[in-house]
Amino acid sequence: MLKLQKLSASYVHPGLPPPTDSIHGIVIGGGDDIEPSHYGALGDAGAEYDPERDAMEMRMIELGLKYNIPMLGICRGAQLINVVHGGNLHQDIRPLRQKTPNKNTIFPIKEAFLEPLTRLRETLQKDQVRINSLHNQAVNQLGKGLVIAAKDADGFVQAIECPHRDFLVGVQWHPEYMPYSKTQRRLFAVFGAAIRRFRNEHP
């Protein structure tokens, strides 16, 4: 059985100097839409962007890729991982949805269907999981080296991963809002185990 063990964490944002301590794991969380110019598109009127955060988090992702640091992307974080790998995004999936709700909520509202033989399927030990939905954008063209790990009923990508790294997973939903779910806690437990392995190998 996997057990959650406390790991120290530091929050990084553009207003702070770069971290000076050793980095053993990276979480890229949710937030504003990603500036479309990063994936060769034009911006939508009314969308909110944070170019300084984009630049900082893209540097963090590139650092993680360079040193094979365990990395978890959540919502915007999963999208940004895809963009750094050369992929692009649906800028607004709301008009395209037919089988899944447009409502944004932290509570489980739809299903994610996990692809067989993926790390995420192995991690969550389920073929499908109930997930929440807090996004209007989604992965469109997949970045180089990534694979799709889950989709929803409309076929939109709900998770991506890199099979050639110890732990590089991006999920479109917000597992941190579902701590009551053993399945979602397991995702963080496996991520934590990857961090400890990396820390032991790179003290």
Q: Give the residue numbers marked as catalytic.
A: 75, 174, 176
By the 8 A CB rule, do 168 and 70 touch? yes
Give the whole-angstrom CA distance, residue 143 versus residue 162. 10
- Under DSSP, is residue 79 helix (H, G, I), strand (E, B) or coil? helix
Residues contacting 179, CB < 8 A, separation 6+: 185
Give the whole-angstrom CA distance, residue 193 versus residue 203. 15
Cα Rg of the chain (Å, integer): 16
Residue 162, token pair as written in the block: 């890199």
Nearest to 176 by CA among 82, 48, 73, 57: 73
Give the whole-angstrom CA distance, residue 158 versus residue 78. 9
**Helix (H) / strand (E) containing 108:** strand 105-114
